[in-house]
Amino acid sequence: MCGIIGAVAQRDITEILIEGLRRLEYRGYDSAGLTIIDDKGEFQRIRRVGKVYELSSATECKSLHGIIGIAHTRWATHGEPTEYNAHPHLSNYIAIAHNGIIENAESLRQQLIAKNYHFTSETDSEVIAHMVHDKCQQSTTLVKAVIKVLTLLQGTYGTVIIDRRQPDIIVAVRSGSPLVIGLGIGENFIASDPLALLPVTHRFIYLEEGDIAEISSRKVTIFNKQGIPVIRNTIETTLHYDAGDKGEYRHYMQKEIYQQPTAIKNTLEKRIKHEHVELSELGHEAEQLLKRVEHIQIVACGTSYNAGLVSRYWFESLIGLSCDVEIASEFRYRKPVVRKNSLFISLSQSGETADTLAALRISKNIGYLGSLAICNVSSSSLIRESDLSIITKAGVEIGVASTKAFTTQLTVLLLLVAKFSQLNNRPVSIEYEIVQALQKLPNRIEHLLSFGNVIENLAKEFSEKNHALFLGRGSHYPIAMEGALKLKEISYIHAEAYAAGELKHGPIALIDSNMPVIVIAPNNKLIEKLKSNIEEIRARGGLLYIFTDKNNEFINSDSMKIIHLPYIETLTSPIFYTIPLQLLSYYVALIKGTDVDQPRNLAKSVTVE
């Protein structure tokens, strides 16, 4: 993880760096720092533990000025979040900021200590600073020194480097961690994400794996791993950054929960025409490929993985297309047997999750028909590296706990099921019912959100608990998983999800009057089975919270609270039942006073494995 930004200009760049860090804070927020070269050619470095505002207050007090500098917001991997572990790291005239993990750092550290280098941090990153300094002594340019260092590093590194003897050049290297160059007029920039640079430019060059860039205020030269100059395309982006404003909401997460009707509407827009699903962005040739698909392999992490799990029920039960779903960090380290005519689908909000990207790269060489990315960021590595892509139109998601990205992923997945149904000449009623249910969904969620106060009242009881169980069956089992994940993430209450039928195989031993059990109980063909599971919990004195609809006859009591939700079509019910669980975790976190948008230990985009 971590966010990096660098700038070389003919004006003061301090505020550009700070604003860039604010926009990168979703990548980590343990500590932050910046280093600029001042008008005397000296490094000025400020680092602070905590969020970027700590750093920005410190820079205001110190009145920093410079026309070249680098900055970093950290998510700790090696070494705790302290000021001395914060980046940039210095080695005499060299300063570096790094995103990634240097796997052979310990042996490099020993070699550098033997050469009398003195370490001031516990990080793996500091070795890069000393190694560049070391190689500078045998190289004519900074870029040549950096190329020599790269041959010795193992691991991942998006890194920016400056040399105060050459105060007009930033060298940037990309390996495993994304970096994008922002092109200005008489000024140029580098960052982990184009969002960080939108206040200063809309023209970008995405570095490819292994690229090394030499960036001055007037020129950008890019080399490949071998040091040979290469040309990379310049892209003019239409991205815009609408994150600045929480509007009437107290937190981004709350805003994003309430944005879901619009996010789903936007995701459906232009994709349903005359009651038919059209995914024109896939292109005509894709249809030929999709027609050959006999199996789907979905790979993702966290909330995106939960979305994949829901869709497995849809692919298999609605159109008989077999589907496997796997966590990316597992998929990448086993030797999967690829089924005949299998399509690899990656799901990701950010499109920069290291494990998901690694899985995609592996998938290219092991016999899949092709790859399809479903992602919320059109400029992401995942989209650029996949054969086909469908963008979820959730809009920028700032809250670390994913909400609208999840429900729009499910929306796209359901559209995709309809598309396969159409291409494989399944009964037209399947596509018709999906389309009908999806079109009604935004209004249904709008109505549901007006019940927010019911959930808010419930949250008071929850906030005193230390543990919770979430139960569901069928396509609502992954929704139970998502509910438990949200509660853990932002309220720090330990929560587990189980398939309701599995409870009696062990977890039922946990049931007592202090263990809240949340049951997702929509009216579907599994409801009678679920009722039996509920009885098993009641018989053991469990404290039940049942999310259900009015047609299900549950009776409120002290040990069984019934939360009646409005009617929803069976097909879109998993999306719908997610919303009250998001609200529940949000209100519990509010009562507990946690940092809702930036919960402890987490980062929005997990770019390290």
Of residues 255, 393, 419, 604, which has the active-site annotation?
604
* Least distance between ligand M6R and beta carbon 36 (Å): 31
| Structure tokens given for 36 | 């600029």
Other C-beta atoms within 10 Å of 365: how many?
A: 7
Cα-only R_g, the chain: 26
The β-bridge relationship of strands 370-375 and 388-391 is: parallel
* Least distance between ligand M6R and beta carbon 496 (Å): 16
Half-sphere exposure of 305 (CA within 13 A, CB side): 17
* Least distance between ligand M6R and beta carbon 600 (Å): 12
User: Which one-letter amino acid corresponds to residue 330?
Assistant: E
For residues 51 and 404, which CB has a smaller minimum distance to ligand M6R in the complex?
404
Q: Which residues contact 346 (CB under 8 A, 6 or more apart)?
A: 298, 299, 300, 328, 356, 359, 360, 371, 372, 373, 374, 375, 382, 386
Asked whether 258 and 249 are in contact (CB, 8 A), the reply is: yes
For residues 26 and 498, which CB has a smaller minimum distance to ligand M6R in the complex?
26
Half-sphere exposure of 66 (CA within 13 A, CB side): 28
Asked whether 67 and 10 are in contact (CB, 8 A), the reply is: yes
* Least distance between ligand M6R and beta carbon 478 (Å): 13
For residues 97 and 301, which CB has a smaller minimum distance to ligand M6R in the complex?
301
3-class secondary structure, 158:
strand
Asked whether 245 and 396 are in contact (CB, 8 A), the reply is: no
Nearest residue to ligand M6R on Cβ basis: 302
Asked whether 207 and 213 are in contact (CB, 8 A), the reply is: yes
Q: Which residues contact 225 (CB under 8 A, 6 or more apart)?
A: 150, 210, 211, 212
3-class secondary structure, 543:
strand
Footprint on this chain of ligand M6R (rule: CB under 6 A): 301-304, 348-350, 353, 356, 400-402, 485, 489, 605-606
Other C-beta atoms within 10 Å of 509: how many?
A: 9
For residues 260 and 304, which CB has a smaller minimum distance to ligand M6R in the complex?
304
For residues 90 and 490, which CB has a smaller minimum distance to ligand M6R in the complex?
490
For residues 380 and 573, which CB has a smaller minimum distance to ligand M6R in the complex?
380
| Structure tokens given for 304 | 């995106």
In 479-604, DSSP assigns E strands to 494-499, 516-521, 543-549, 560-565
Residue 604 annotated among the catalytic residues of the structure: yes
* Least distance between ligand M6R and beta carbon 439 (Å): 26
CA-based nearest residue to 293, from 422, 438, 390: 422
For residues 260 and 350, which CB has a smaller minimum distance to ligand M6R in the complex?
350
For residues 537 and 603, which CB has a smaller minimum distance to ligand M6R in the complex?
603
Separation CA 402–CA 353 (nearest Å): 14
* Least distance between ligand M6R and beta carbon 589 (Å): 12
* Least distance between ligand M6R and beta carbon 551 (Å): 31
* Least distance between ligand M6R and beta carbon 348 (Å): 3
Q: What is the dihedral of CA 253, 258, 263, 264, to 10 degrees?
A: 120
User: Which one-letter amino acid corresponds to residue 132?
Assistant: V
Separation CA 161–CA 129 (nearest Å): 8
User: What residues act catalytically?
Assistant: 2, 604
